Amino acid sequence: MAEIKGRCLCGNVEYSAEGEPAMQAFCHCTDCQRSTGSVGSILVGVPKPAFQVSGDSLSSFETVGEDRGTPAQRSFCSNCGSPIMTTLPEMPDLVFIKAGTLDDTSWLSPQIEVWGDSAQPWMAPAEGATRVDRGPG
């Protein structure tokens, strides 16, 4: 994968990242559930220097995760509300893209599910994935 690209629902915010992602994960944390209105976030961690984002409607909101107990900077499009990415002070070299916003999601295959204790009880782990009780996101 030479470059990954994505955008928010309205298209005002676009991003790209060069090179191979450092990690993929699915996050079940309650903050991801609340901010997406769904079962959680697909996260793709990319090195911060490789990540570029543009758009005048990019906003961010800092939360102290109910599960994690430490701050997370959650960035989203203030025009359409799409979550775009999260950064964590304890992992300053990575940007965690909310991978449902990728233009091409065909290569996604998260092998780890984090904050599994908060998972919706009817949602079984994906085949081949390991569910753990802590992690980024």
2 or 37: CB nearest Zn ion: 37
47 or 78: CB nearest Zn ion: 78
Residue 58 contacts Zn ion per CB under 5 A: no
Two tokens at 39? 């079962």
Residue 42 contacts Zn ion per CB under 5 A: no
The C-alpha torsion from 118 through 123 and 124 to 128, rounded to 10°, is -90
Burial of 125 (0-12, 13-18, 19+ CB in 10 A): middle
Residue 8 contacts Zn ion per CB under 5 A: yes
CA–CA dist 66, 100 (Å, integer):
22
In the numeric block, the tokens 């060069």 are attached to: 18
Which of 77, 84, 85, 112 touches Zn ion by CB under 5 A?
77
Which of 60, 63, 79, 118 touches Zn ion by CB under 5 A?
79
Residues binding Zn ion (CB under 5 A): 8, 10, 12, 27, 29, 32, 77, 79-80, 137
